[in-house]
A and B are shown apart, each in its own frame.
Chain A
Amino acid sequence: MKEQLENIRQQAQEELAKASSKQELEALRVKYLGKKGELTAILKQMGKLSPEERPVIGQLANEVRENITQLLESAQADIKTKERNAKLAAEKLDVTLPGKKHELGNKHPLSIVLDEIKEIFVGMGFDIVDGPEVEYDYYNFEALNIPKDHPARDTQDTFYINDNIVLRTQTSPVQIRVMEKQKPPIRIISPGRVYRSDAVDATHSPLFHQIEGLVVDKGITFADLKGTLETFVKRLYGEDSVVRFRPHHFPFTEPSAEVDVQCFNCKGAGCRLCKNEGWIEILGCGMVHPKVLENCNIDPEEYTGFALGLGLERVAMRRYNIDDMRLFYENDVRFLSQF
């Protein structure tokens, strides 16, 4: 029996070394270790052995079984590796072929910039409000201290619906609507479409976007206006932006200012981008005119505030170096897909 066992071991070793597939290995497993396998057959004869031989042969038989099992497992692992390697080799791809895309849509560049501006203001404690685009003359002009005969009406070529209704020429009427509804403290911005009868060209559009801002509370100062807008400009254009406030005139603010940022291109030395001025105008602002507060039943002796207005297209044009405003409204997918 001992010999038989050794023979089995010998034979199994040889056969396992030759096996080259999973199927062959399985057959060998059945052949040697299966219920009807050779080793099992020998073990079944153990009863015939003497009590002295039994433990010796038993031990040997277990050794042989373990031996074969080990060999079997290692052969299995080898074959698996081989097969895996063969599969990997067969599966080789040209990874430089283009990817299959799930194409996402693109946000309009004006939206991208507007969202950024909204984030900045919300972060500074502003809420966002909306107002009608078709607006009463009263809100667009009169309540903003621009009576019917005011020369400023000529500079804002207005689309009229009738004597009392216009397409708003600015987002400023939202100031009035907010102040009529809400008592101070007020801290809002209002982005939206505005309309002026300018013929379409590279820098004009009869429809464009503004962002209005309004702050009203007790004790709001010109210094607050400056600080708030400096923060805004730095968030939008970078912390190293240089900002200046330049006196200007708007009928609904007093004092009024325009805000210039030092030309990013020439750092103030003067270049083509800034028309040799060294500065680029980015927004208009001022302390809310006392008459405007009065028009909204807010006591200008008790409350003060500031307002600002910013053109969205111009910010986006500078941001992306777009030289023609018409592109925003033509919506060519080759344009949109760039953002």
Chain B
Amino acid sequence: MNLSMRWLREFVDIDEDINMREFSEAITMSGSKVESFEKEGSELKNIVVGRVLSTEKHPDADRLTVCKVDVGEAETIQIVTAATNVVPDALVPVAKDNSVVHSGQKIKKGKLRGVLSQGMFCSVAELGVTVHDFPYAIEDGIFLIQEDCKVGDDIRDAIGLNDTKVEFEITSNRPDCFSVIGLAREAAATYNKPLKLHTPVVKGIGESCEGMLDVKIENKELCKMYSAKIVKNVRVKPSPRWLRERLRAMGVRPINNIVDITNYVMLEYGQPMHAFDLRFVDGAKIRIRNAKAGETITTLDGIERKLSEKNLIIADENKPIAIAGVMGGEFSGIVDDTNTIVFESANFDGASVRLTAKEHGMRTDASSRYEKGLDPNNCLPVLQRACELVELLDAGDVYDGEIIDFAGESIDKINVRKRIALEPDWINSFLDTKLSVDEMKAILTKLECEFDGEDVLPPTFRPDLQHKADIAEEIARFVGYNTIPSTSISGGAQGKYTARQKFDSKIAATMLALGLSEIMTYSFVSPKYYDKILMPKDSELRRSVVITNPLGEDTSVMRTTALPSILEILAKNYNNRNEKAYLYELAREYIPITDDKLPIEKNKLIGGFYGLSDFFELKGIVEETLDRLSIYDYDVEASADEFAYHPGRCAVLTIDGERIGVFGELHPQVAENYGIGERVYAFELEADLLFKYTKSEKQYTPLPKFPAVTRDIAVICDENIPVLTLEKAMKKSAGSTLESVKLFDVYQGEQIEKGKKNVAFRITMRSHNETLTDEHANSTMKKIMKALENEGAVLRA
């Protein structure tokens, strides 16, 4: 919302030479946030009003004219121009030597085809204004000024380009501040100055409008008030300069006096208005009703719109003439031969206007005001003000009286003041202030609250004031938030991390120590990504939580697996020619249950790699991770049918039969789908299950007091027997003194029969009570050998 400081000063005495930074700060701190301010024409330098004294053809150029110009200085200056509309005696904007025009271009004296030119004449655009601001000016040519000004005047003062515009951020709870008067009220309260409100007076023509228009509100839920006045003999012409200036400062384009009046009043009061030609109202009947199925309207912007039954419209006997609170119909607008017009000032339900504007994708100045909820009590004063301006501008003849329909028993009960108990003690303890009742009342009075006994009666244009906390806020912001003390919360509290939060930190520390960097990826993916990771068509994981209004297909479903997310990132890094990537994410996955329930949000620890030396580096990372997280009793089994993974290089991790994760090399097709030209690896661990199985308490084991005995053993077995099978057999058979079994060699090739492999282990035995004897070691080794033989492995000869 833009505000003209000049307009503001009509309602409150703010010094002409106020420091705008201080003003912005003060009004921001009382609750109306200033985004920026700008003095009009501040970019212009050294441009004055000049009078053309003479024009002559340039001696060497047909298209140039040499002009003598009086710029109010002792000596006249000479300007060479290509413009064709400059005539002797015209008043023109002169950019003198060393001046700056609106575009930022600097003007200096120089020679044009050999003739001295000491500056430049300006067009409207070069001053940063438009022909809408100065309807007598032309677009392509010099601005011939028809304003009351003198030669030598600063151009900004001469054409009134000297207002200051302030841009406010108005929050949705303050529809009243979408107006000059609303902001003036805030400024007056901020500076403790009176608000000078004006009561509009309409003379009228002594002839009543009664019977000229039949107004009926059919939907009294959505329309609380509809009022209209009628003006005949409309004289459509440009508005006077003062009015155009104000519209311009507020960022509204002047059009003609009638349209400008509706805009002016809307800006001043915050209440939108609409004006339409009475001729086009069939049957002189106005009905405020919901649209019927199939009805259409072509709005002022020339677009034909299909109306839905939810849309509140203004209709005549036969057809819609406006979408209530949003935009009028094209045909009913003001045209050149318009004679009699209806000014409408009505109150529509905010939510309804908001939804209708959204439905038709047309948020207008009117709808953005209505949607926040306006005060029906404003309708009539606004109507009066518009007609007062009609008379002031001599834009038409105003009939006496108005045509009104409203919801409710009487017009003064459409919107009445609420009643809130003023509880000074509660407010003081809530804010930690020590204000007297009188101080509180003084603040509230500035905001036009009234009092009745112990109660505050806030004004009807403040729908946001409903509770004593709202009253406390009004008091706090005028006392000043920053004058209220700052205290610590009384009563001690111990903040702590939960076991799960500590576990997650441990995961992060482990990942970092293992050389994996943390990533953060979008939780939504494209359903096509499931194809990219070769997910079977009938997989349960293809059922995702679907976003009904996604930004795009790529972000349209909530992922059921984080694998595509990390693959996207690996692919990006690969494309960016990063040598390797070791990445992880503690990622959420969203598993739907039923449509009316929230999905399960699972946490997955996922790692993704390229540039890894081999599968066993990956496995080492997984094993070390589980070890660090104190998870020991898990099983690893080869799995050939995990989608996305290489059938011969993938393992599944389980604990007591419960699957806790999977890791392996990804299927070459997956790597290809992501355009990664090398082997890609991943692990996926169910973080919620890891937490379930982690042993949070560690127990110290005494360091061994007796030496260990080690024996190496090499066996030959079928190449398809997993080493884990052999290890398990050894561990099972060896008895309590077995400390560890460590694989140190696997060999296939020369000297080994085809289809067999040679596997070598180092076996360490130790007792905590004594030094083991050779006999004991030998007997253990015998047991181990027997167990190995049972698995089909024989001692290497």
Closest to A136 in B: B598
Cβ-defined partner of B173 (8 Å) among A136, A244, A249, A290: A249
Q: Are B469 and A219 in contact, with the CB atoms below 8 A? A: no
**Which chain A positions have C-beta within 8 A of B488?**
224, 227-228, 231
- With A149-B355, A197-B551, A247-B29 as known contacts, state yes or no: A103 contacts B578, CB within 8 Å: no
Provided the pairs A164-B596, A219-B429 are in contact, do residues A107 and B512 lie with their beta carbons within 8 angstroms? yes
Contact A149 B477 (CB under 8 A): no
Q: Is A331's CB under 8 angstroms from B477's CB? A: no
Sorting the interface of chain A by its residue count into under 10, 10 to 19, 20 to 34 or 35 or more gives: 35 or more
B527 to chain A, nearest CB (A): 15
Contact residue among A199, A224, A332 (Cβ-Cβ distance under 8 Å from B487): A224
Asked whether A43 is an interface residue with its Cβ less than 8 Å from the other chain, the reply is no
Complex CA–CA separation, A247 to B29 (angstroms) = 6
Is A247 within 8 A of B481, CB to CB? yes
**Residue of A whose beta carbon sits closest to that of B476:** A255
Candidates A103, A151, A223, A332; contact of B572 at CB < 8 Å? A332
Judge whether B203 is part of the interface by a CB distance below 8 angstroms: no
Q: How far is the CA of A103 from the CA of B477 in the complex (A)?
A: 54
Q: Please, how many residues of chain B have a CB less than 8 angstroms from a CB on the other chain?
A: 89
B36 contacts which chain A residues (CB < 8 A)?
Answer: 275-276
Residue of A nearest to B371 (CB): A151
Contacts of B486 in A (CB 8 A): 223, 226-227, 230
Decide if A221 touches B431 in the complex (CB within 8 Å): yes
CB atoms of B519 and A108 under 8 A apart: yes
Cβ of A90 under 8 Å from chain B: no
Chain A interface helix/strand/loop/mixed = mixed
Contact with B along A134-161 (1 / 0, CB 8 A): 1110000000000011111011000111
Pick from A11-19, A46-54, A76-84, A118-126 the stretch touching chain B: A118-126
* Cβ contact within 8 Å between B430 and A304: yes
A71 at the interface (CB under 8 A from B): no
Which one, B250-258, B316-324, B328-336, B542-550, is touching chain A? Answer: B542-550
Measured between beta carbons, the chain A residues less than 8 angstroms from B470 are 254
Pick out which of these stretches binds chain A: B121-129, B495-503, B660-668.
B495-503
Q: Does B28 contact A (CB under 8 A)?
A: yes
Please determine whether A151 and B354 come into contact, CB atoms closer than 8 angstroms: yes
Contact B496 A127 (CB under 8 A): yes
Q: Do residues A122 and B601 form an inter-chain contact, with CB atoms below 8 A?
A: no
- Residues 307-339 of A, flagged 1 when their CB comes within 8 A of B and 0 if not, give 000000000000000000000111111101100
Q: Does A172 contact B (CB under 8 A)?
A: no
Which among B430, B495, B518, B578 is the interface contact of A287 at CB below 8 angstroms? B430
Question: Chain B contacts of A200 at CB under 8 A?
Answer: 551
* B484 in contact with A111 (CB, 8 Å): no
Q: Report the separation of the CA atoms of residues A255 and B480 in the bound assembly, to the nearest whole angstrom.
A: 12
Enumerate chain B residues within 8 angstroms of A103, measured Cβ to Cβ.
Answer: 515
Interface residue A102 (Cβ < 8 Å from any Cβ of B):
yes
Q: From B372, B490, B495, B569, give the contact of A124 (CB < 8 A).
A: B495
Q: Does residue B508 face the partner (Cβ distance < 8 Å to A)?
A: yes
- A105–B515 touching, CB < 8 Å: yes
Contacts of B524 in A (CB 8 A): 206-207
A183 is an interface residue with CB less than 8 A from chain B:
no
Is A254's CB under 8 angstroms from B573's CB?
A: no
User: Is B174 at the interface (CB under 8 A from chain A)?
Assistant: yes
Which chain A residues lie closer than 8 Å to B492 at the CB level?
125
**A257 at the B interface (CB under 8 A):** yes
B430 touches A222 (CB 8 A): yes
Contact of A122 among B489, B496, B578 (CB under 8 A): B496
Bound CA span A279–B545, Å:
41
A219 touches B173 (CB 8 A): no
Interchain CB contact under 8 A, B512 and A104? yes
Question: How far, in angstroms, from A226 to B479 measured CA to CA in the complex?
Answer: 15
A246 on the B face (CB < 8 A): yes
Cα A224 to Cα B551 with chains together (Å) = 41
Q: Is the CB of B477 within 8 A of A215?
A: no
Whole-angstrom CA separation of A152 from B517 in the bound complex? 38
Q: Which residues of B contact A256 (CB under 8 A)?
A: 473
A215 to B30, CA, bound (A): 25
A247 to B171, CA, bound (A): 10
Which one of A160, A185, A222 lies within 8 Å of B484 (CB-CB)?
A: A222
Whether A329 contacts B521 by the Cβ 8 Å rule is: yes
Inter-chain CA distance A225–B183, complex, in Å, is 28
Q: Determine the residue in chain B with the shortest Cβ distance to A275.
A: B36
Interchain nearest-CB distance for B349 vs A (Å) = 9
Cβ–Cβ contact A221 & B520, under 8 A: no
Check if B50 is an interface residue, CB within 8 A of chain A: no
B477: which A residues are within 8 A, CB to CB? 247, 255
Let me know if B111 is at the binding interface, CB within 8 A: no
CA distance A110 to B519 in the complex (A): 10
A58 contacts partner chain B, Cβ-Cβ < 8 Å? no
Residues of chain B having any CB pair with chain A under 8 Å: 21, 28-31, 33, 36, 171-174, 350-351, 354-355, 358, 371-372, 429-432, 464, 467-470, 472-473, 476-477, 481-482, 484-498, 501, 508, 511-524, 545-551, 555, 558, 569, 572-573, 576, 578, 581-584, 588, 590, 595-596, 598-599, 601
Which residues of A pack against B, CB within 8 Å? 102-108, 110-111, 121-128, 132-136, 148-152, 154-155, 159-162, 164-165, 167, 185, 187, 193, 195, 197, 199-200, 206-207, 215, 217, 219-224, 226-228, 230-231, 244-249, 251, 254-257, 270, 275-276, 287, 289-291, 304, 328-334, 336-337
Provide 29 A-B residue pairs closer than 8 Å at the C-beta atoms, listed in order of the A residue.
Answer: A105-B513, A105-B518, A108-B517, A108-B518, A121-B495, A123-B495, A128-B497, A132-B598, A150-B351, A160-B548, A161-B547, A167-B558, A187-B489, A193-B523, A197-B549, A197-B551, A219-B490, A222-B431, A222-B432, A226-B481, A226-B484, A226-B486, A227-B485, A245-B481, A247-B476, A248-B31, A256-B473, A334-B576, A337-B517
- What 10 pairs between A and B have smallest CB-CB spacing? A149-B351, A125-B493, A255-B473, A223-B432, A249-B171, A247-B31, A122-B495, A227-B486, A331-B519, A245-B481
Besides A165-B598, A167-B558, A251-B173, 9 new A-B residue pairs in contact (Cβ under 8 A), listed by A number? A105-B516, A107-B517, A125-B493, A165-B596, A193-B523, A199-B551, A226-B481, A227-B486, A333-B581
